[in-house]
């Protein structure tokens, strides 16, 4: 590893998440405070491979803390997955003297950073930027709180029309491999059932519950489904329910990429700022190849390979809460 990090590159990789801009701003301004030269790498690892690297100063990150998306853009790069591609990326960093990296993204981005650092002795710091909250070593990921609040706002509005028509609404939220958005938004909106990838769904129990509630004249029902649920999302769940409850008035609403956009919440801006600041501090004090997280409101540092290998697990008590509160 370099004895002293003096030139730092920052990139955003994988799926975008609200708060990435706040993290970029914190990284750049903290680096400038410590007299480091700062560089923005456009479109993630693609920009590193294709030599789209720009110098950044304080003005580069002005007026972005409130913006969703990422000013650095993001993409996935097949070339970086090869040793030849990473060699080209390293040459592009080397000719600018960049000797430290901050990677804002999810576990796929961290895998790339870990491999790259091992091959070329460049210290890397990961910041968990993903709406799914599916990375171990942090209580929250950048963008999760905004995505959940977006889902809650949408589901609240859906409940209004469900109540007006006595309908069953099945709402699909993002979460291909993790059910945290479904779990949090479902509890917060009073959903009768929440279907997530981490828990096996008993569709017969689900239909039985809905039938019992119909007998009790509970005509407004909401089911929140993570897109990665074992049945394949809201449309498939709807088909199964309609087959077993042919008289039910069922509607499906897929929230989709609306959950990725929008201004980040206060919480996402705060954690992104704290993490971005800490990332630079880590590079300068010799704490390398870690993911910066926040656990119990304190900064927490997880080796990148652990952050990649481990996943957050959902406490079964959360699912018990859903059943009790939805009665």
Same domain, 162 and 212: yes
Same domain, 207 and 119: no
Q: Please provide the average confidence, as pLDDT, over all residues in the chain.
A: 90
Is pLDDT above 70 for 310? Answer: no
Q: What is the pLDDT of residues 248-300, one digit of tens each?
A: 788 899 999 999 999 999 999 999 999 999 999 999 999 999 999 999 999 99
Alpha-carbon span 244 to 205, nearest angstrom = 12
- Residue 14 is part of a domain; what is its CATH number? 3.40.50.450
**% of the chain at pLDDT higher than 70:** 94
Alpha-carbon span 211 to 282, nearest angstrom = 56
Is pLDDT above 60 for 227? Answer: yes
Which residues make beta-bridge pairs with 180?
none
Set 107, 132, 145, 268: catalytic member: 132
pLDDT at 61: 97
Name the pLDDT band for 219 (thresholds 50, 70, 90). Answer: low
Q: Quote the number of domains for the chain.
A: 2
Domain encompassing residue 20: 7-143+264-309
Is pLDDT above 80 for 180? Answer: yes
- Catalytic site includes residue 132: yes
pLDDT at 201: 74
Alpha-carbon span 327 to 322, nearest angstrom = 9
- Give the end-to-end CA distance of the chain in Å, rounded to a whole number: 57
Q: Are 79 and 112 in contact (CB under 8 A)?
A: no
Q: What is the pLDDT of residues 113-138, one digit of tens each?
A: 999 999 999 999 999 999 999 888 99
Q: Are 293 and 301 in contact (CB under 8 A)?
A: yes
Residue 324: inside a domain: no
Is pLDDT above 80 for 216? Answer: no
Token readout for 296 is 């119990």
């Amino acid at each position: 590893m370099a004895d002293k990090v003096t030139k730092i590159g920052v990139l955003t990789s994988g799926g975008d998440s609200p708060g990435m801009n706040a993290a970029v701003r914190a990284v750049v301004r903290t680096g400038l405070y410590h007299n480091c030269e700062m560089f923005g790498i456009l479109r993630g690892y693609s920009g590193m491979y294709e030599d789209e690297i720009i110098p950044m100063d304080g003005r580069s990150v002005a007026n972005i803390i409130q913006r969703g998306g990422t000013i650095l853009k993001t993409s996935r790069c097949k070339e970086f997955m090869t040793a030849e591609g990473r060699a080209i990326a390293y040459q592009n960093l080397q000719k600018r003297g960049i000797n430290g990296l901050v990677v804002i993204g999810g576990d796929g981005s961290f895998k790339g950073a870990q491999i790259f650092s091992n091959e070329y002795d460049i210290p890397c710091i990961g910041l968990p930027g993903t709406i799914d909250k599916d990375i171990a070593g942090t209580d929250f990921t950048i963008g999760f709180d905004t995505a959940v609040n977006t889902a809650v706002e949408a589901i609240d509005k859906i409940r209004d029309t469900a109540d007006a028509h006595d309908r069953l609404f099945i709402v699909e939220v993002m979460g291909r491999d993790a059910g945290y958005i479904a779990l949090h938004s479902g509890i917060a909106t009073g959903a009768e059932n929440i279907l997530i990838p981490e828990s096996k769904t008993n569709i017969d129990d689900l239909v039985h519950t809905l039938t019992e509630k119909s007998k009790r004249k509970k005509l407004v029902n909401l089911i929140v489904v993570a897109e990665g649920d074992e049945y394949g999302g809201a449309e498939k769940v709807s088909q199964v329910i309609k087959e077993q409850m042919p008289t039910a008035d069922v509607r499906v609403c897929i929230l989709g990429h609306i959950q990725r956009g929008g201004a980040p919440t206060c919480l996402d801006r705060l954690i992104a700022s704290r993490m971005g600041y800490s990332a630079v501090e880590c590079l300068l004090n010799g704490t390398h190849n870690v993911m910066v997280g926040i656990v119990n409101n304190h900064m927490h540092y997880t080796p990148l390979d652990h952050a990649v290998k481990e996943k957050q697990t959902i406490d079964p008590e959360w699912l018990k809460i859903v059943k009790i509160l939805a009665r």
